[in-house]
């Protein structure tokens, strides 16, 4: 059985296609649950108008599957709470020039 830490490690490899930055550091991952028969991931996008949502869903699903060997990975885009720059990791904020 996979662990939450293993899932987060896998998610750290998934990049936002537009920005080329890790979605985890951007603060786009809202929930990870490792259940007996599946892994569930809720994430958001920087904007509802973002055109790469479907690409990210598939990239998250395939990356988590490959890194955890769990076949049933359910990925859902959520909009609450809305994403904001405050959700980024401190390292990401620093690298992009935002105040911490």
Alpha-carbon gap, residue 54 to 34, rounded angstroms? 22
pTM of the model: 0.93
Q: Would you tell me how many other CB atoms lie within 10 Å of the CB of residue 20? A: 7
Report if residue 55 sits inside a domain.
yes
> What domain range is 22 assigned to?
4-92
Which pLDDT value is given to residue 68?
Answer: 97
Which pLDDT value is given to residue 99?
Answer: 86
The tally of domains found in the chain comes to: 1
Report if residue 97 sits inside a domain.
no
Alpha-carbon gap, residue 64 to 22, rounded angstroms? 14
Report if residue 99 sits inside a domain.
no
Report if residue 11 sits inside a domain.
yes
Report if residue 77 sits inside a domain.
yes
Report if residue 64 sits inside a domain.
yes
Query: Per-residue pLDDT tens for 29-60?
Result: 999 999 999 999 999 999 999 899 999 999 99
Q: What's 60's domain CATH number?
A: 3.30.300.130
């Amino acid at each position: 059985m996979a662990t939450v830490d293993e899932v987060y490690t896998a998610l750290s490899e998934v990049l936002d296609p537009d920005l080329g930055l890790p979605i985890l550091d951007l603060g786009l991952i809202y929930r990870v649950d490792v259940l007996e028969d599946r892994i569930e991931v809720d994430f958001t996008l920087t904007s509802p108008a973002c055109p790469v949502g479907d690409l990210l869903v598939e990239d998250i699903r395939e990356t988590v599957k490959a890194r955890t060997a769990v076949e049933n990975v359910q990925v859902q885009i959520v909009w609450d709470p809305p994403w904001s720059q405050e959700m980024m990791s401190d390292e990401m904020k620093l690298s992009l020039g935002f105040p911490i």
